[in-house]
Structure 1
Amino acid sequence: MIGRLQKYSGIPIILLIFSLLFYLIFAYSLERTDFIKLVCLYSALFFFAYKLLSLYKHDFKFLAGIGLLFRLLFLIAIPNLSQDFYRFIWDGRLLTQGLNPYLTLPLEWISQGNAPFAQAEVLYDGMGALNGSHYTNYPPLSQLCYGIAALIADNSILGAVIILRSIIILADIGTLYFGKKLLTFLNLPEHHIFFYFLNPFIIIELTGNLHFEAVMVFFLAWSLYLLAKGQWHWAAGVFGLSISVKLLPLLLLPLLLQYFIPFYKAQPSRFGKAPKLLLFYTLTITIAFLTFLPFISSEFLQNFSQTIALWFQNFEFNASIYYIIRWFGYQTVGWNIIGTVGKILPVLSVLGILSLSIFRKNSNFPQLLTAMLFAISLYFLLSTTVHPWYLAIPVFLSIFTTYRYVLWWSLTVVLSYSAYAETNFSENLALVALEYLIVIGIFIFEIFQHKKVKTCHLEN
């Protein structure tokens, strides 16, 4: 017993104490406008997490315990880096009133002075006029979580926050469980799951700021584990649930092509697995569709598609390639060409993902996961809007690969919060450029390193 206590004494306990203190400051004493404080706390927490993981990578229970403890510190904190949770609670309370959240705007209710539930004005002020003037774009399983929070805490914003945060923490525990099992199945080090579970980016953006990418990643982790074990029927259903939390996993479906039909293997019967692939796609889409079914109408389809289109053609934040194209647009035509480019870039993303699906060898599971990582990274590099919490999927996928550029991205993405450093929202494009130069630079270095290693293996 004494020996075990000594194991956690000295420098490790100091690291743990400072981590706890900094997370508490982050949760309860940080304003989004205080960019310098935010960056300092965030960077320090990354350093502490790195050191704790280095020291205790073979002590799974200890790292899992402190990862859970860090999350619980946020339990009663109101999110301070994002106001999206106000819209979550709004949508959930509409559901509990028997109203379809996809069919009305918060602005309509408030402007008519016809509040549909308690604290409507507070929630509208919290989400902001921009959010309140657009139709919701959160898929049904997310809406179910919001409804649960509204049902339990129908007259308390803090109460709803606690319920939403509890769901996210449970989802992260599920990701820890299935992520560990998948790493073991692939003969990879189990402690790699802590690149996700102990990552300050994941803790702050998901648990702290109540983004339901955590639930999406949980279902994705579960589905990938089932797929690796050969239980593809169940994997398809769970994959559909992941799509019903956030639509992003839809982009990964084409990459399963070679996993089911290995193009680059000399197997005469390889196309015999095509029906299995089609059934996987059918089950996945069917499950996702069934969750949408209670909400579907022509008005829903119009509102939902209109809101999705806004993210490509109207909104811009923390972009990379798009900002370069936008600059050329200003130089040539004299105005912002997002309306045109926003239609072209998604097409290029899809074409790029299809190319990865067809021309890259993805027939075994490690290759598949690496292809998924590249596909989702390509999508974000071509996006007009990349909010920090979007990176949850690539961070998770990266733990099953030898690529670490996304972990650096989860660190440098904090630079995007410089946009909130002043009262008037204004991005610091120099810092955005620095973020992507670091990430793309590390990615290129890792690509060359992998080619070098592969060449050495071939020569030997």
Structure 2
Amino acid sequence: MLGLNNLFKYHKTPLLFIALSSIFYLSFAYDLVRTDITKLLLLYVALFVFAYQIIKTTGFYTSTKLSTGFRLLVVSAILFRLLFLFAMPNLSQDFYRFIWDGRMILEGLNPYLYTPDSFIQKGNIPISQAQELYNGMGELSSSHFTNYPPINQLCFAIAALFSGKSILGSVMVMRILIIGADIGTLYFGKKLLERLKLPSNRIFWYILNPFIIIELTGNLHFEGVMIFFLVWSLYLLHSGKWKWAAAILACSISVKLIPLMFLPLFFWWFRKNIKENVIANEMMQSVPNDRIASSKIPRNNVFKLISFYAIVGITTVLLFLPFFSMEFVYNYSKTVGLWFGNFEFNASIYYLAREIGYAITGYNEIAIIGKMLPVISLVVILGFSFFRKNNTIPKLTTSILLAFTFYLFLSTTVHPWYIATLVILCVFTKYRYPLVWSLVIILSYLAYSNTENSENLWIIGLEYTIVYVAFVWEVLLKKRLPTISSL
């Protein structure tokens, strides 16, 4: 009773915003269609305002409110996610393909070897509710081979195992998995921030971010599971358990392939002596000073670096092994390649390059531009890998953040949930532009306001103008944000 009295005494304001957020999340989950743009924007912006106020007014990081305030934020984060539990995703239809793949696995069929079209167009019904799932996933998904890595497929199979005849039941199972991953991210993210002597409340800019809650829990995008493994891996790496960090990083890759592009950025991690390790990672505080002073000989850096990459590679291959065949290799590489040369959505630099191509040739030159931009992205990533000494977690996460940002700036396709990785990485750095992007990314959904689902380039231009201004101001024009010490 005393605890409840203290809760209402010290946290009246955040409780009010938590109640308002709950109402708005319920409306978002159960009473919104994505073509209702006005309602979508109003709910989304309001939820951002409420989230800011909840974090700002709770103040769990102060000595007098540490325990109660922290628990309140954690309970709020879980509550907001559970509100979506019985809702069908309303901003994305990808979950239909997730369910299809999971049920294919339980039927003993390799989902990498068949397209849904190959069954339905021949009148074959390989799984329960096949026609309904086929209709829901849309033509683009049904005509292509799956591109979801094996641990992602495992999540789909778990959903099929516990709910093989109900679409809503499968959605609920997958949603519980994503919520569990977010709780894991909260746990390891907070511990890593504390190890780095950074304010641990920063983790709530990810966990309570409406974009994260809506896109991952609400719309069932498994970036949340990928991020959980990524943050866990960074925590293990900081703790000196680099072998386990490599294995867990492979798990992250096996949910989404995105962390593959981060591998070169670990080049400098092992290129430091023991004394530098103590300073950078705080792992040898109990080592006598005379031992530290005498340990200036560099470690066997090359061996550890190669071993790290080998563990990542071998673990990833082992996870893919149950699905392996030469046909799988062909289908998977072909499907992944389509994202660079065929699809376009919510792009920035690519759209400018496309317009230049139209002006010169009169045609959409995506086949050429789509091959050039990844090469530029690779050069940028290698630049961050070899010319920045990423030998501490803050340096490493900053390089990953900036490198992946440039990759997205150069991509032909930037779906909203892609920037979830930027949001989690920014909490370990001094940059906050991903939070701005997580707010304005909702503008990309305005493409669904018309029957053709066509993008308004003025709207896309507005989105990226805001993002680029925030990026340039933070990264290039301002050396340090004034609010860093208070966050």
Give the TM bin, normalised by the shorter chain: over 0.9
Q: Within the alignment, does 1:323 sit opposite 2:333 as a pair?
A: no
SS at match of 1:27: helix
Q: Within the alignment, does 1:209 sit opposite 2:224 as a pair?
A: no
Partner Cα distance (1:291, 1:3) in 2: 49
Following superposition of structure 1 onto structure 2, how do residues 167-206 of structure 1 map, counting pairs within 5 Å?
A: 167-206=177-216
- Verify the 8 A CA contact 2:474 2:481 in the aligned structure 1: no
Following superposition of structure 1 onto structure 2, how do residues 226-375 of structure 1 map, counting pairs within 5 Å?
A: 226-262=236-272, 269-270=297-298, 272-375=300-403
Q: 1:371: Cα distance to partner?
A: 0.5
- Give CA deviations for 1:128-161 in whole Å, capped at 9, x if unaligned: 1111000000000000010010011111001100
TM-score scaled by structure 1? 0.96
Q: 1:164: Cα distance to partner?
A: 0.4
Partner Cα distance (1:14, 1:218) in 2: 30
- Give CA deviations for 1:375-434 in whole Å, capped at 9, x if unaligned: 111111110000000111111100000100001001110000011011111101111111
Partner Cα distance (1:270, 1:333) in 2: 56
SS at match of 2:160: helix
Partner Cα distance (1:344, 1:268) in 2: 44
Q: 1:448: Cα distance to partner?
A: 3.9
TM-score scaled by structure 2? 0.90
Q: 1:268: Cα distance to partner?
A: 7.9
Aligned to 1:5: 8
Change (3 A) 1:159 1:189: same
Partner Cα distance (1:20, 1:8) in 2: 16
Q: Within the alignment, does 1:417 sit opposite 2:427 as a pair?
A: no
Partner Cα distance (1:343, 1:262) in 2: 36
Partner Cα distance (2:82, 2:481) in 1: 42
Aligned to 1:60: 70
Partner Cα distance (1:430, 1:66) in 2: 36
Q: Identity of paired residues, percent?
A: 54
Q: 1:271: Cα distance to partner?
A: 6.9
- Verify the 8 A CA contact 2:11 2:58 in the aligned structure 1: no
Among residues 206, 229, 236, which one is paired with 1:219 in the alignment?
229
Q: 1:447: Cα distance to partner?
A: 2.1
Aligned to 1:102: 112
- Verify the 8 A CA contact 1:329 1:337 in the aligned structure 2: yes
Q: 1:101: Cα distance to partner?
A: 0.1
Count of residues in Structure 1 that have an aligned counterpart in Structure 2? 451
Aligned to 1:149: 159
Aligned to 2:282: none
Q: 1:262: Cα distance to partner?
A: 4.7
Q: 1:335: Cα distance to partner?
A: 0.6
Among residues 36, 48, 51, which one is paired with 1:49 in the alignment?
51
Q: 1:14: Cα distance to partner?
A: 2.5
Among residues 134, 149, 168, which one is paired with 2:144 in the alignment?
134
Q: 1:121: Cα distance to partner?
A: 0.1
Q: 1:363: Cα distance to partner?
A: 2.2
Aligned to 1:71: 81
Q: 1:124: Cα distance to partner?
A: 0.3
- Aligned Cα RMSD in Å? 1.6
Aligned to 1:119: 129
Letter aligned with residue 400 of structure 2: M
Letter aligned with residue 360 of structure 1: R
- Verify the 8 A CA contact 1:259 1:365 in the aligned structure 2: no
Aligned to 2:169: 159
Q: 1:60: Cα distance to partner?
A: 1.4
Letter aligned with residue 260 of structure 2: L
Partner Cα distance (2:107, 2:250) in 1: 27
Aligned to 2:289: none
Letter aligned with residue 418 of structure 1: L
Partner Cα distance (1:390, 1:448) in 2: 23
Aligned to 1:380: 408
Q: Within the alignment, does 1:439 sit opposite 2:441 as a pair?
A: no
- Verify the 8 A CA contact 1:57 1:63 in the aligned structure 2: no
Partner Cα distance (2:469, 2:231) in 1: 28
Letter aligned with residue 322 of structure 1: Y
- Verify the 8 A CA contact 2:175 2:217 in the aligned structure 1: yes
Letter aligned with residue 148 of structure 1: I
Letter aligned with residue 299 of structure 1: E
Letter aligned with residue 25 of structure 1: S
Q: 1:5: Cα distance to partner?
A: 2.0
Q: 1:321: Cα distance to partner?
A: 0.6
SS at match of 1:336: coil
Unaligned runs of 5+ in 2: 61-68, 277-294, 483-487
- Verify the 8 A CA contact 1:228 1:365 in the aligned structure 2: yes
